[in-house]
Amino acid sequence: MKSERYLKLYGANCPSCAYTIERAGNHLSQVESVHVDIANSQAKVVFNTADAEVQNAALAKLVEVVQRIGYDATLQ
């Protein structure tokens, strides 16, 4: 079962920023896709698992990745 969660993004305000975050997030285990909406400064993360613990771990990793590439993110 697929599940969606959202991150609030800070500092990612161009198509290149969105692409960079999406590409990085799509490489994470248990993440099916990441779609960045720069107009609303958020990222929709689609998981290929409904397990909340796995999702939380993947989200924490995604926040780390986003910060490492120069932006910031928080769970919505």
pLDDT of residue 29: 86
Distance CA 72, CA 62 (A): 10
Q: Which residues touch 5 (CB under 8 Å, ≥6 apart)?
A: 44, 45, 47, 55, 59, 75, 76
Answer yes or no: CATH 3.40.190.10 is held by domain 3-75: no
First CA to last CA across the chain, in angstroms?
21
Characterize the bridge pairing of strands 31-37 and 72-75: unpaired
Q: pLDDT tens digit string along 16-69?
A: 999 999 999 999 988 999 999 999 999 999 999 999 999 999 999 999 999 999
